[in-house]
Structure formats: structure tokens, C-alpha cells
Amino acid sequence: MIKRLLVTGAGGGLGHYVREGLKGSAEILRLSDIIDISPALCGEEVVRCDLADREAVNELVRGCDAILHLGAISSEASFDALLQANFLGTYNLYEAARKAGVRRVIFASSNHVIGFHPVGEWLDDKAERRPDSLYGVSKSFGEDLARLYFDKFGLETACLRIGSCFDAPRDRRMLSTWLSPRDFISLVAKLIEAPAIGHLVLYGVSANRDAWWSNAHADFLGWKPLDTSEPYREAIERRDEEPAAGSDYQGGRFATVGILD
């Protein structure tokens, strides 16, 4: 077990799953966010930090063995907002990780780096990136930064292109893209435990009947998703009869949103 795992964005939706689910993956979880999160329990440290603040991030990362980088604006937003949280925040994190000798980052990338591929097209880690939004571009930047820091400094990253991680799929598209919280946790745990991952790009998706993404290249992890969106299909298909905006694209509605001020 590693000693200290830093979790950025720990106050968000996925952060909540992680706080409970990754207890067994590190002796100490250092939980951080720009917003207030509830006080540290046994085996936890809580640090409030804006990822855009370089000095604060240097301090935050010191003493950590690995990082689960969830902290970000998690949807389409203005370039200026993304510039701070996602572009600068991710750069600050990688620089701090390099200086502190962190071994591995698990970067919460997104399906929106490939969101302009048409629905039904089968993609793997070699697929061309086709971001569907400035948000998707910010995650694509994070993946490039991760590649640079591996090639230049040997800092390992799993770029985890998460589909839709919520308690349950919310619409027709998520019947393909859903990642159950349980599968998310088991995948992250494998990515922490694996002896070596190098620079890895993979998809965070459950065993959905109509999924579009292959993780065959990552079989060495020994991860098998246990959940599927099938039990939700009937109710969703009955409710959502009309195609939703952006339903031709894997990124769904993100592909239809213009540039936000």
C-alpha cells in the first residue's frame, strides 16, 4: 500500500466516492479542494487549495507518493475560467509533482477529448483526439502534459477518459458511457496498485452493452468492470423517446454548445 495519496477536487461528486472507496489504497488520503470539505477523519488530511496558486500547489503535493487529479471545472465553461482551473491548475500540479518526486498521477481526463467522433465508432487509446468543447481541449492539454512529463522525467500517468460517472445513467447516451461508482473505484485502485503503468490512456466505462471504447491494451491491469447500464435501459428508453441534442456524437450535448463568454 502506498503511504500518501493526494486527491484534488475531493469536494466534488467523484471525490465523494473516493473518500470512502479508496480508504484501503493508501495509508493517508490527503483530500484537497478549493471549496470547504468536511474535517479530516482517521487516515485523512484535508487541505484547502486553489490549483491555480502555484506556491500553494507546491506545498500541497510535498510528501505525496501518488496523485488522483480530479480538481477541475468539470463541464463546458469560458476559456478564462478553464485557463485557471484546468490549464494552469494541471500545469502547476505536474510541476509540483516533478519537483516533489511523485511517482504516479491518475489524471481524470474525459470522454470529451474524443467527443466529436460519431456515435458507434469503436475507439481505443490510439484514436485521434477530437475534443468537442473547450473543456475537452483542456483535458487534451492535460493528456499532452502527462505525456511530456513521462517522456522527459519518467513521471507515470494514467489518463483516465471517464465516461459518465454517476450513481446511475441519466439518459440514453449514458447507456453507452456510464461508469458505475463501484467500477470507478476498482479501476482507480488498480491504477494505484499496478507496479508500473508508464504513460497509459484508457477509458472509464462499465461493461455496457453498447459501449464504444476498448481497453484491450490495458488488460495487464487485471481490471474487469462489474456493472452494466442494462438494468436502466427500459425506463430510460421509455422516458426519452426523442433524440437528444448532439446525439450523433459520442460527447453528446457538449458537441452542440458554442463558445461561452
Residue numbers at the binding site for ligand NAI (CB under 6 A): 9, 11-15, 33-35, 50-52, 70-74, 85, 89, 108, 110, 162, 164-165
Binding partner of residue 177 among ligand NAI, ligand 15L, none, CB cut-off 5 to 8 Å per kind = ligand 15L
Separation of alpha carbons 165 and 187, rounded Å: 12
- Other Cβ atoms within 10 Å of 196 Cβ, number: 9
Is residue 75 a contact residue for ligand 15L (CB under 6 A)? yes
Dihedral sign (CA 147, 148, 154, 160):
negative
Annotation marks residue 135 as catalytic: yes
Identified catalytic residue from 17, 94, 135, 149: 135
Q: Comparing C-alpha atoms, which of 193, 190, 168 is closest to residue 181?
A: 168
Residue among 8, 32, 90, 110 that touches ligand 15L (CB under 6 A): 110
What is the 8-class DSSP label of residue 85? I
Contact criterion met (CB below 8 Å) for 224 and 89: no
State in angstroms the smallest separation of the CB of 9 from ligand NAI. Answer: 3
Within 5-64, which residues bind ligand 15L (CB under 6 A)?
none
Half-sphere exposure (CA, 13 Å, Cβ side) for 91?
11
Separation of alpha carbons 134 and 118, rounded Å: 18
**Vertex 96: Cα angle to 105 and 157 (nearest 5):** 15
Residue among 111, 206, 208, 215 that touches ligand 15L (CB under 6 A): 111
Query: Among 63-71, 110-118, 191-199, 236-244, which window interacts with ligand 15L (CB under 6 A)?
Result: 110-118
Of all residues in the shown chain, the one whose CB is closest to ligand NAI is 12
- Other Cβ atoms within 10 Å of 213 Cβ, number: 23
State in angstroms the smallest separation of the CB of 61 from ligand NAI. Answer: 13
Is residue 177 a contact residue for ligand 15L (CB under 6 A)? yes
Of all residues in the shown chain, the one whose CB is closest to ligand 15L is 164
State in angstroms the smallest separation of the CB of 81 from ligand NAI. Answer: 9
End-to-end C-alpha distance for the chain, whole angstroms = 45
Binding partner of residue 50 among ligand 15L, ligand NAI, none, CB cut-off 5 to 8 Å per kind = ligand NAI
Alpha helix segments (H runs only) across 169-247: 174-177, 181-193, 230-239
Q: Which is nearer to ligand 15L, 150 or 166 (CB)?
A: 166
What is the 8-class DSSP label of residue 162? E
Strand 178-179 to 199-204 pairing: unpaired
Q: Which is nearer to ligand NAI, 229 or 238 (CB)?
A: 229
Cell numbers describing residue 254: 457538449
State in angstroms the smallest separation of the CB of 180 from ligand NAI. Answer: 11
Contact criterion met (CB below 8 Å) for 163 and 207: no
Binding partner of residue 15 among ligand 15L, ligand NAI, none, CB cut-off 5 to 8 Å per kind = ligand NAI
Binding partner of residue 14 among ligand NAI, ligand 15L, none, CB cut-off 5 to 8 Å per kind = ligand NAI
The residues that touch ligand 15L, with contacts defined as CB under 6 A, are: 74-75, 110-112, 164, 177
Active site residues: 135
